[in-house]
Amino acid sequence: MQIAMIGLGRMGANMVRRLLRAGHECHVYDVSADAVAALVAEGARGAGSVEELVAGLEAPRSVWLMLPAAITGDTVSTLLGALSRGDAIIDGGNSSYRDDIDRAEVAAAQGIDYVDCGTSGGVWGLERGYCLMIGGPDGAVARLSPVFAALAPGVESAPRTPGRDGEPSPAEEGWLHCGASGAGHFVKMVHNGIEYAIMGAYAEGLNIIRNAGAGVRKAEVDAETAPLREPKYYPFDGIDLPEVAEVWRRGSVIGSWLLDLTAEALRQDPHLDQFAGRVSDSGEGRWTSIAAIEEGVAAPLLTSALYSRFASQGSDLFANKVESAQRFQFGGHVEKQQ
């Protein structure tokens, strides 16, 4: 079917490529003319503006956005001025589900369908497919199902769950209509909250193993730091972390795609010297914890993982200074130099 894509970054461009491979007619626009030209060379039809993009489509039009959340709202407003009753906007970026609910109301008043689509798969999605978590009106989701099916990984991407036989459901293909407008990004938001916790769990565990030689290195321990009580039980200096990650990938209960990627990162750079360790977050972990608080639901693991990211960004520096100042005040303890 015919589909337009606005936003040809790492995600949007590869999604267009996957749609082209499946035989869909793709019209594309990006602020970068080079990004448009690259996809035109691969079979897409390019446009120089949002208005030109919309003018080149047949009704009912379907325009998919893959933009940073910060600029999605302005583009939706521009599109609402250019589209007509019966058309659909699909936001495949990382917008807040609250914005979806608000935007869907405005769009519905014009007879335009607003579909939110949480999209997971990252730079690997072109080959592996994208897991799609969708919210919006039934009719629009049904009309767009060939597009979702082309982007999704397909049933063969994972062994079928025992007891699921016959025609695979859309979820088994890798896409799911989760509910009304906002439901897709709500499910994707929680997916990212979980992502932070799983990433943090591997990171913390590997770091404990990395420090399992603390007993051997006890001479480095400053008198101001609590001495290692039983150094002989921490003699494991230099356990090979790339190999640990590798062995966990086979038959262990903590195998996962995130572990596969961790193993690959450690293979390439065993000490991860190319990274400073500042872990960014683009919003969804925060929104997940806010939702948990507003629902009155305990989510200590997800929230703790989010706080670890904040700490990595330096936001704990002043709090740590306060503690050092307190130790100095009550005990005259001088900070150990790093």
Ligand X SMILES: O=C(CO)[C@H](O)[C@H](O)COP(=O)(O)O
SS3 state at 333: coil
Whether 85 and 153 have beta carbons less than 8 Å apart is answered as no
* 278 contacts ligand X (rule: CB under 6 A): no
How far apart, in Å, are the Cα atoms of 66 and each of 62, 78, 118, 132, 140? 13, 15, 10, 13, 18
* 211 contacts ligand X (rule: CB under 6 A): no
Active-site annotation holder among 105, 188, 204, 246: 188
Look at the alpha carbons of 202, 208, 211, 213 in this order and tell me if their dihedral is positive or negative. Answer: negative
We find the least distance from the C-beta atom of residue 283 to ligand X, in angstroms, to be: 6
We find the least distance from the C-beta atom of residue 198 to ligand X, in angstroms, to be: 11
Spell out, one character per residue from 171 to 210, where the chain touches ligand X: x when CB under 6 A holds, - when not.
Answer: ---------------------x--x---------------
- Which stretch in 156-164, 204-212, 237-245, 281-289 sits in contact with ligand X by CB under 6 A? 281-289
* 280 contacts ligand X (rule: CB under 6 A): yes
We find the least distance from the C-beta atom of residue 192 to ligand X, in angstroms, to be: 5
Spell out, one character per residue from 85 to 124, where the chain touches ligand X: x when CB under 6 A holds, - when not.
Answer: ---------x-------------------------x-x--
Q: How many residues bind ligand X (CB under 6 A)?
A: 10
Residue carrying the six token digits 């356990």: 239
* 316 contacts ligand X (rule: CB under 6 A): no
Q: Which residue is nearest to ligand X (CB)?
A: 282
We find the least distance from the C-beta atom of residue 46 to ligand X, in angstroms, to be: 26
Q: What is the pairing mode between strands 88-91 and 62-65? A: parallel
Whether 323 and 331 have beta carbons less than 8 Å apart is answered as no
- Which stretch in 54-62, 249-257, 266-274, 279-287 sits in contact with ligand X by CB under 6 A? 279-287
We find the least distance from the C-beta atom of residue 113 to ligand X, in angstroms, to be: 23
Q: Which of 40/292 has CB closer to ligand X?
A: 292
Q: Which of 13/107 has CB closer to ligand X?
A: 13
Assigned token pair, 298: 């305990």
Task: Return the CA Rg of the chain.
Answer: 24
How far apart, in Å, are the Cα atoms of 47 and each of 35, 52, 71, 124? 11, 6, 19, 26
* 256 contacts ligand X (rule: CB under 6 A): no
How far apart, in Å, are the Cα atoms of 214 and each of 201, 226, 234, 273? 21, 12, 6, 21
Active site residue 195: yes
* 312 contacts ligand X (rule: CB under 6 A): no
Peptide bond into 153 cis (omega under 30): no
* 10 contacts ligand X (rule: CB under 6 A): no
Peptide bond into 162 cis (omega under 30): no
* 303 contacts ligand X (rule: CB under 6 A): no
How far apart, in Å, are the Cα atoms of 238 and each of 169, 209, 244, 276, 322? 47, 9, 11, 21, 34
CA quadruple 113, 86, 130, 153: dihedral, nearest 10: 130
* 284 contacts ligand X (rule: CB under 6 A): yes
Q: Which of 216/290 has CB closer to ligand X?
A: 290
Active-site annotation holder among 25, 42, 51, 195: 195
Out of 40, 281, 307, 311, point to the residue binding ligand X (CB under 6 A): 281
Q: Which of 233/257 has CB closer to ligand X?
A: 257
CB atoms within 10 A of CB 84: 12
Active site residue 172: no
Whether 114 and 132 have beta carbons less than 8 Å apart is answered as no
Assigned token pair, 242: 């790339």
Q: Which residues form the interface with ligand X (CB under 6 A)?
A: 94, 120, 122, 192, 195, 280-282, 284-285
Active site residues: 188, 195
